[in-house]
Amino acid sequence: MMATSPDKAVRSTQEQAVAAWITHLNQVRLDGLLRAFRQQDVNLADALVNIDAALGKIDLEVIATNRGGVKGMHGFIAEVAEVGVGNARARILGGESIYQWVNDNGPVDLQRAGVDIQQKFVAAGGRLGLGAVAEHMQKYPDFLKSGGKYQIPADHFERIRSLYGMSAEDAGKLARSGDGPSFRDWQRVQTFFGEGSVSIDAMEPSHLEYHEVQRGAYGSTLAAEKESLRSTDESLRHDAYVEHRPSLQEGAEATMVAATIESGTTFILAVSSKRREGKSLREFTAEDWNDIAVATGFGAIKGGVRGASIYALTNFTATPAAVASSIVTAGFGIAAQANKLRSGEIDEQQFIENAELVSLEAAVSALSSFAGQALIPVPVLGAVIGNSVGTLVFSSVTEALNAWEAEMLVRHLAEQHELDEHLAAEHRELLDLLDASMARYLDALDLAFSPDPEIALAGSVELALQLGVEPDSVLDTDEKAMSYFLD
């Protein structure tokens, strides 16, 4: 049984509601991605500012003042650089600046989120800074008790950690001297931590290595850190894109919701159709309920196809959701007409006309949704209202025309075809005239701007005439020119 106009309006509205809902899902995801990108712009800028600030402070407060002298300058460079690098790495991840340079020559060099840190960038004596740590402990015995940390170069800490965990048997295989860790280094590390005053957990690595904070190296070190921050920024942006890109899970959700909505709509319309036949719910037969169940199941399948198709079209092609829904709807409608053609219910001419009507209705549905969303910028609601109004108006008009003016439409269509052919012929003639006129105009324009004065004068006259200047007003003779300028 053919659906009535109200049924068509309900179906069209439901279809565009699904499309609008998927559009809303896509927009929420896209808005999240743009927010993440905007925040990352801020994070990168703040991170780079911290590195630039560290460079400036080293230049002005350490190098310019010769802070620490030749032997101790790198220690102060390391402190400032640690603050800059540590804060920059926190900022690039969206965190707050956590390092602070104490700079008072006291027992604490840095503070990190309330934790006191004493740095020891010392290479003298081959003890990897452990001797300097021991001296600081003797001078400030309560430093560790209050939660302080000793920080040493990253490369020194790595070697100490390795030697600390090495067995005596493996240590015996180390070289007694030369490059690399030696057996004597292992003994020093074991002896230091064996005394028990400082545990391995009380020490931590710096962000930087010993050689990276020397006077001639800190500039390139911090420049490399800026490049590393940009690389981290790119990685974070990629992660944000991956997090907010279309997903199989969201596509499955769109498919399931669309299937549920369309099956529910189909069920209601099928029941309403039976009720319009004059039957009450108690009078429904098993056959009636079977028809309703079949229609509902088919509606679920169509809804699932619609949801998956719209999600794919809107996310993997440049297709708005309203248009995507109309494409799917038109596809279903044309497929139904093709089935009627194969079964002999309609002929080829009727198939073409019906297919055109299905496509037109789908286009009106999409256009109405666009207009509704523009006038009522509320997700889903604007599309639903716009589609409802547009579909009902269109249905009313088409029904009136079918009832009263079908013959006029057929005659009008034939007249339009004839008029189109006539106008097309006139259009071609006008284009030919325009081409010829434009060619003459361009030739005159070339002459008017010729470097030869005589040719330019003749061209100017021709150009003036082509532009509609009265021949009597054109200065094409010596007498006219003398009269114009002297009289």
- pTM greater than 0.85: no
pLDDT of residue 66: 93
State the Cα–Cα distance between residues 479 and 61, nearest whole angstrom.
Answer: 86
Q: What is the pLDDT at residue 485? A: 66
- Assess whether 387 and 317 both reside in one domain: yes
Residues 290 and 315 in one domain: yes
Looking at the structure, do residues 224 and 166 belong to the same domain, yes or no?
A: yes
Which residue, 316, 397, 309, is CA-closest to 15?
A: 309
Q: What is the pLDDT of residue 409?
A: 43
254 and 296 co-located in one domain: yes
| Residues 70, 83: Cα–Cα separation, whole Å | 22
Residues 373 and 445 occupy one common structural domain: no
Say if residue 374 is exposed, middle or buried (CB neighbours under 10 Å; 0-12, 13-18, 19+).
Answer: exposed
pLDDT tens digits in sequence order for the chain, 487 residues long: 334 445 555 555 555 566 666 666 767 777 888 888 899 999 999 999 999 999 999 999 999 999 989 888 999 999 999 999 999 999 999 999 999 999 888 899 999 999 999 999 998 767 788 989 999 999 999 999 889 999 999 999 999 999 999 998 888 888 765 567 888 889 889 999 888 789 999 999 999 999 999 999 999 999 999 999 999 999 999 888 888 777 667 666 766 766 666 666 666 666 667 666 777 766 667 777 777 677 767 666 666 666 666 666 566 555 554 555 555 555 556 566 666 776 777 776 776 666 656 655 555 554 444 444 443 344 434 433 344 334 433 443 344 334 433 454 455 456 656 767 777 777 778 777 777 766 766 666 666 666 777 666 776 777 677 667 777 776 667 677 677 667 6
What pLDDT was estimated at residue 203?
94
Number of domains the chain is built from: 3
Domain that holds residue 271: 5-29+246-409
Question: How many angstroms separate the Cα of 109 from the Cα of each of 90, 213, 458?
Answer: 19, 16, 88
Same domain, 87 and 161: yes
**Among the listed residues 179, 65, 193, 86, the one whose alpha carbon sits nearest the alpha carbon of residue 134:** 193
Question: In whole angstroms, what is the distance from residue 346 CA to residue 366 CA?
Answer: 27
Residues 140 and 256 in one domain: no
- Does residue 115 sit in the same domain as residue 253? no
Of 241, 267, 299, the residue at which a domain comes to its end is 241
Determine contact, residues 390/371, Cβ cutoff 8 Å.
yes
Q: How many CB atoms lie within 10 A of CB 290?
A: 10
pLDDT of residue 397: 39
User: Residue 351's Cα: distance from chain center in Å?
Assistant: 43
Q: Which two tokens stand for residue 144?
A: 């560790």
What pLDDT shows up at residue 375? 39
Contact between 306 and 15 under an 8 Å Cβ cutoff? The reply is yes
Note whether 317 and 383 are same-domain residues.
yes
Q: Are 110 and 102 in contact (CB under 8 A)?
A: yes
364 shares its domain with 258: yes
pLDDT at 370: 43
* 44 in the same domain as 173: yes
Closest-CA residue to 462 (of 484, 434, 441): 441
Domain stop point among 216, 241, 266: 241
**Alpha carbon 477 to chain centroid, angstroms:** 68
Distance CA 27, CA 407 (A): 47
User: 418 and 365, same structural domain?
Assistant: no
Task: Single out the residue in 226, 241, 256 at which a domain terminates.
Answer: 241
